[in-house]
Amino acid sequence: MSDGEPTPSTAAVAEPPVLTRLRERFPDAIVATHAYRGDATAEIAPATLLDVCTFLRDDPVLAFDLLADVTAVDYIGTTPRFELVYHLRSIAQGHRVRVKTRVPEESPRIASLTSVWRGANWLERETYDMYGILFDGHPDLRRIYLYEEFQGHPLRKDYPKEKRQPLVTARDVAPEQAERTEAREQQRYGRWPE
Amino acid sequence: MDAGRNNPPVTDDLHTQPMEIQMGPSHPSTHGTVKITLKLDGERILDSEVEVGYLHRGFEKECESGEYYQAIPYTDRLNYASPMINNVGYCLAAEKLFGITAPPRAQYLRTIACELSRMSDHFTCIGAAALELAALTPFLYCVQAREQIYDLHESLCGARVTTNYVRIGGLQSDLQPGFAELCRDKVAAALKLFGDVDELLTKNPIFRERMERTGTLPADTLIAYGVTGPLLRAAGVGFDVRRAEPYLVYDRLDFDVPVGSSGDNYDRYLVRFAELRQSARIIEQALRDLPDGPVDVDDPRFRWPAKGKVFNRMEELIDQFKLVTEGMRPPAGEVYQAVEGANGELGFYLVSNGTGKPWKCRCRAPSFSNTQALRDMIQGALLADVIPTFDMVNMIGGECDR
């Protein structure tokens, strides 16, 4: 890169205050921090996610009231394989933080943040849909973009871009609804001649 | 008298049951492909379920399989009503990752492009809202106003809708001669048309009756849902990324962030209306201050050489060859860059592993979070209130479903 640009490993800049405060409160939960290109980032142990996020929201100095984004990154070939990424913004305090945590391929489970920010609902459903991460405590964990019969999770790196999906037969309509439709059509168009 | 077949027993309550109806995915009164399953008691909405995903086309997967610069045309299609903002948001994120900054002239032109897009998005939103509340004329005026903006897009980049104008480290091209005059004329023409829309709608009792006191949610609920943009500002929270975390040259320009008070659909309409005028102010200032100079960063690793030079000179031919075959290689790392889209915070999260292709390219779409709050906005309301509320949420399928 251009000269004088700090590389991520040797960045000798002061730690953002958000990370300092988080480290003071959760000295054991923090796995690593960095502020690459000025984005304060904390990687935490997965079991502490709910506690850390509740603190991030409720602490008056941090006050992260807006959950901007939830997503995952598939680091295939490394263990643990999946990294969950949460982008938070404090409207009152005007700062941002990125919280990351890793979950293994064998049990891609993590606590749901729907109890902390309501907006986590759809974002976590999307992450489940695209990466197959299971969110414990989510009230309604279903696919959001794709259909129920879709096989696999498309944003995983081992899902080929060209992969085709089997054709899905039409889903059964609830019997009473089918009856209603039939009755209505008979009323409207008369019975079909045999 | 016997309670026989012809005389059923009299009961206090009429036997009723909630009715379930499906609105969408293709409904004439919603400008967006979305399915809302409503559970109704008469006209009162007991519960609803909003289903998105009809326009999902694998934006992130496509971006991950191409070079960094190849994702730019896909960003046009995110929010097709304001393509320039998406272009700019993605390129700013990529530039943050690469550690480069576009030259000042490009920054000013990007600002102009962003504000033109914001205007066209608000024209689309307000026009469609009027149309779906059965006012056809304002829609035609809005479309005509949007055409003025599209004329300017055409002058900037040759395309009207899918612009693909911004490049990593610069712009596709510098201005055509006479752009400043054209821009002033077209923006003035658009605002004049909008004055007519103002007179037709803002004090119109039918329009106000449908918009006022509908779709209201308190600001803290909106924030909990991750709602940003005009919806949040209408509820009194003056959060605007252009002001809170200035990018481009917004810190050098004088503009207001309009906020509402009640947070109902009418306030959302008024906030969008006021933002249009602010956008026009920003464009005027940016045109006035527009500096001379190059529009591309002076670095052959990012600048696409001029075609004439590629065909006739060795150095530029090599540059072009290397850009196409190897791509632009950022250092390993991750960045998140937010810009103020027309409907809220538009963010791009890029993860690089040091190769020419992004390992992860995530778009934080404002419409996605905004649409999520729709269920709460229409809970307990009348069926007819779904239309203005959905209009003001302004879900853009391309961006919501990615």
Q: What is the pLDDT of residues A122-141, one digit of tens each?
A: 999 999 999 999 999 988 88
First to last CA, chain A: 77
User: How confident is the model over B58-69, as pLDDT tens digits?
Assistant: 899 999 988 888
**Rounded Cα distance, B375 and B225, in Å:** 11
Q: Which residues contact B50 (CB under 8 A, 6 or more apart)?
A: B34, B35, B36, B371, B372, B374, B375
**Rounded Cα distance, B185 and B198, in Å:** 20
- Are the beta carbons of B264 and B238 closer than 8 angstroms? no
Q: Which amino acid does the sequence have at B348? A: F
- Are the beta carbons of B234 and B256 closer than 8 angstroms? no
State residue A60's pLDDT score: 86
What value does the mean pLDDT of chain B take? Answer: 87
How many helices, marked H, and strands, marked E, lie in chain B?
17, 8
Instruction: State the number of CA atoms in the 13 A half-sphere of B80 facing the CB.
Output: 14
Structure tokens at B80: 């097709």
**Rounded Cα distance, A191 and B323, in Å:** 67
Mean pLDDT for the stretch of residues A62-67:
89
Cβ–Cβ pairs < 8 A, chains A and B:
103
State residue A167's pLDDT score: 81
Chain A contact for B359 (CB, 8 A cutoff): yes
| Partners of residue B60 in chain A, C-beta under 8 Å | 130, 155
ipTM comes to 0.85
**Rounded Cα distance, B359 and B63, in Å:** 9
| Partners of residue B169 in chain A, C-beta under 8 Å | none
State residue A9's pLDDT score: 47
| Partners of residue B62 in chain A, C-beta under 8 Å | 161
| Partners of residue A180 in chain B, C-beta under 8 Å | none
pLDDT higher than threshold 80 for residue A10: no
SS3 A100: strand
Contacting B residues, span 226-265, partner chain A, CB-CB under 8 Å: 226-228, 237, 239, 244-245
pLDDT higher than threshold 90 for residue A101: yes
- Among B85, B103, B245, CA closest to B166: B85
- Burial of A98-128, coded b for 16+ CB within 10 Å and e otherwise, reads bbbbbbeeeebebbbbbebbbbbbbbbbbbb
Contacting A residues, span 35-64, partner chain B, CB-CB under 8 Å: 36-37, 39, 41
Q: Which residue, chain included where needed, has tokens 């990125």?
A: A98
User: How confident is the model over B362-397, as pLDDT tens digits?
Assistant: 999 999 999 999 999 988 888 888 888 988 888 888
Chain B contact for A6 (CB, 8 A cutoff): no
User: How confident is the model over B295-319, as pLDDT tens digits?
Assistant: 888 888 888 888 888 888 888 888 8
Considering the entire predicted model, what is its pTM?
0.86
